[in-house]
Structure 1
Amino acid sequence: MPLYEIETNAHILITWAEDEAQAKIVVNDNYPNDDVIRLTKRPRNSWVISKAALGLTDQRVDPCLVARDCLSKAEGDKVHAIRLYMNETGVDLDKARKAIESNMVLGW
């Protein structure tokens, strides 16, 4: 069963559902006053929050691992992977582009 990330006007939900319609039903059943703003099928069957991205660790994150993870999440879409990388690391567009493109060459 796919994992969905659902953003409403008041919450962010992570839930398993058969399809998008069922995911919306989960929201309506649990938060009937919320409006769905964004509904995304996750590329993997688990949800991970990076402690480094939240600033909860002193360890440095390997930029190649982050770039490969972003490419995987973006299913190979370079532009989307660049946006994800910028969001994940906080770097500017040029640095994100270089990180993603260099990892695309490596065959991520």
Structure 2
Amino acid sequence: MPLFEVETNSHIIITWAEDEQAARAVVADAYPYDEIARLTKRPRDTWVISKGALGLTSPSLDPCLVARECLSRSSGDKVNAIRLYRMETGSDLEHARKAIESNMVMGW
């Protein structure tokens, strides 16, 4: 089954679907108020997110472990997890937000 990348006005959704119409149906079901801006059939059946693109390249820390620990301590509360991450690492708000959100997407 092909992998589709669907960008809406609020989300980027990665989903398997039989065809483009089925991918649109997934988005309509999950996010009925979003408008599809771009829909792309991926050339392979995997999806990779670059840590460099997210600004998570510091060799002195493992942001995944720190971010996951902050998410755990905050019981999944994103705002609290970002605050904890900033306190733990000394990161600025944008870096902390990216680290926490990327780990939330990975299902911490």
What's the TM-score once normalised by structure 1's chain length?
Answer: 0.51
Letter of the 2:15 counterpart: T
Q: CA deviation at 1:53?
A: 2.4
Q: 1:14 corresponds to which residue?
A: 14
Per-residue CA deviation, residues 14-69 of structure 1 (Å, 9 max, x unaligned), is 0000000000000011111111110001111011001122221257xxxxxxxxxx
Q: CA deviation at 1:9?
A: 1.1
Could you say what secondary structure the match of 2:49 adopts? coil
Separation in structure 2 between the aligned mates of residue 13 and residue 45 of structure 1, nearest angstrom: 14
Instruction: Judge conservation of contact 1:3–1:44 (CA < 8 Å) in 2.
Output: yes
Q: 1:23 corresponds to which residue?
A: 23
Letter of the 1:35 counterpart: E
Q: 1:84 corresponds to which residue?
A: none
Gaps of 5+ in 1: 60-108
Write out aligned runs for 1:1-108 (5 A): 1-58=1-58
What's the TM-score once normalised by structure 2's chain length?
Answer: 0.51
Separation in structure 1 between the aligned mates of residue 25 and residue 54 of structure 2, nearest angstrom: 30
Instruction: Judge conservation of contact 1:9–1:37 (CA < 8 Å) in 2.
Output: yes
Q: How many residue pairs are counted as aligned between the two chains? A: 59
Could you say what secondary structure the match of 2:50 adopts? coil
Instruction: Judge conservation of contact 1:3–1:16 (CA < 8 Å) in 2.
Output: yes
After TM superposition, which residue ranges in structure 1, 4 or more long, deviate above 3 angstroms? none
Instruction: Judge conservation of contact 1:52–1:58 (CA < 8 Å) in 2.
Output: no
